[in-house]
């Protein structure tokens, strides 16, 4: 299957689905499409709630595209690449509707950022999470505002410093990254249908105002996340990171 981002609308529920054959990792082109699809659904009056999901059963999102990461040779390209995650997070933040994330499998790096940027995150017990950026000489700078907002600085640092260690779905649940956790994908999907059906029947104006309250104090993220992308764009060119990426590629 080819990499893709697609959206659909049914009974007031807008669904954005992404896929990449390499663990649902996200290269720049998919990040742009993802941000665009969320933005388009956000201005559609027929959409009362948005669901973000990926294809397959094993991985929700492996984060940044490793192939594209290793191809970065200048600061401009690096900044543009990491700005892709900034665009998706800000699109989720600014969508008038509540965004529901469906995390059916492992989430790494930017994938954790997507789970954190959602307003309500469903997951399965297979949905382990990891922030692996420090292991290759960069850090989760772009996604950190979204992750810290959900789980707090101590838990964010626990994940960041243990860059090679997966945390369980239950750990993510106790830290408020995941709102609900289920034993199976089928049970999770039933719960998502139940909640989205309920939300689609509510007053959209009230939900929009409630979302604004929930995200109060984040208006500066447009600038902040771009600045963080520049930091990552510089670090990815460091000798440490170049050597670390070469070592990973050689495995």
- What is the predicted pLDDT for the residue at 248? 79
In a domain, 196, yes or no: no
The span from the CA of 100 to the CA of 29, in Å, is: 23
In a domain, 15, yes or no: yes
The whole-model pTM stands at 0.96
In a domain, 80, yes or no: yes
- What is the predicted pLDDT for the residue at 79? 95
- What is the predicted pLDDT for the residue at 67? 86
In a domain, 157, yes or no: yes
CB atoms within 10 A of CB 59: 23
The span from the CA of 251 to the CA of 247, in Å, is: 7
Estimate to the nearest angstrom the gap between the alpha carbon of 95 and the chain centroid.
15
Domain that holds residue 168: 4-185
Q: In this structure, what CATH number is given to the domain that contains residue 169?
A: 3.90.226.10
In a domain, 190, yes or no: no
- What is the predicted pLDDT for the residue at 250? 76
Structure tokens at 205: 């104006």
Instruction: Using alpha carbons, select from 216, 214, 203 the residue that is nearest to residue 49.
Output: 203
In a domain, 244, yes or no: no
The span from the CA of 246 to the CA of 192, in Å, is: 41
The span from the CA of 156 to the CA of 159, in Å, is: 5
Quick one: which H or E segment has residue 163? none
- What is the predicted pLDDT for the residue at 246? 84
Helices (H), the chain: 28-42, 66-70, 75-94, 110-117, 144-161, 169-174, 185-200, 204-214, 221-235, 239-250
User: How many Cα neighbours within 13 Å face the side chain of 107?
Assistant: 30
- What is the predicted pLDDT for the residue at 91? 98
Structure tokens at 249: 């590629």
pLDDT in tens, 157-202: 999 999 999 999 999 999 999 999 999 999 999 999 999 999 999 9
> Is 83 in contact with 141 (CB distance < 8 Å)?
no
Q: Residue 44 — φ and ψ, nearest 5°? A: -85, 120
Instruction: Using alpha carbons, select from 221, 85, 109, 123 the residue that is nearest to residue 159.
Output: 109
User: How many Cα neighbours within 13 Å face the side chain of 132?
Assistant: 21
In a domain, 150, yes or no: yes
| Number of domains forming the structure of the chain | 1
Compute, in degrees rounded to 10, the torsion defined by CA atoms 129, 133, 135, 138.
-170
Low-confidence residues in the chain, pLDDT < 70: none
């Amino acid at each position: 299957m080819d990499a893709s981002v697609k959206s659909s609308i049914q009974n007031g529920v807008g669904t954005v689905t992404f896929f990449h054959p390499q663990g649902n990792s996200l290269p720049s082109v998919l990040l742009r499409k993802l941000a665009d699809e969320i933005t388009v659904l956000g201005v559609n009056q027929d959409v009362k709630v948005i669901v973000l999901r990926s294809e397959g059963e094993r991985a929700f999102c492996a984060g940044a595209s490793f192939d594209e990461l290793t191809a970065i040779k200048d600061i401009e390209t690096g900044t543009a690449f990491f700005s892709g995650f900034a665009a998706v997070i800000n699109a989720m933040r600014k969508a008038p509707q509540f965004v529901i994330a469906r995390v059916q499998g492992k989430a790494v790096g930017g994938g954790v950022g997507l789970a954190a940027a959602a307003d309500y995150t469903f997951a399965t017990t297979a949905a382990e999470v990891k922030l692996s950026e420090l292991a290759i000489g960069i850090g989760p700078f772009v996604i950190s505002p979204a992750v810290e907002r959900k789980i707090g600085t101590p838990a964010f640092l626990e994940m960041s410093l243990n860059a090679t260690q997966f945390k369980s779905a239950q750990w993510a649940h106790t830290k408020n990254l995941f709102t609900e956790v289920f034993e199976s994908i089928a049970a999770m999907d039933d719960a998502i249908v139940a909640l989205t059906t309920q939300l689609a029947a509510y007053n959209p104006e009230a939900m929009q105002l409630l979302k604004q309250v929930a995200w109060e104090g984040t208006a500066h993220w447009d600038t902040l996340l771009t600045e963080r992308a520049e930091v990552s764009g510089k670090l990815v060119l460091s000798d440490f990171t170049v050597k670390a990426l070469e070592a990973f590629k050689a495995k």
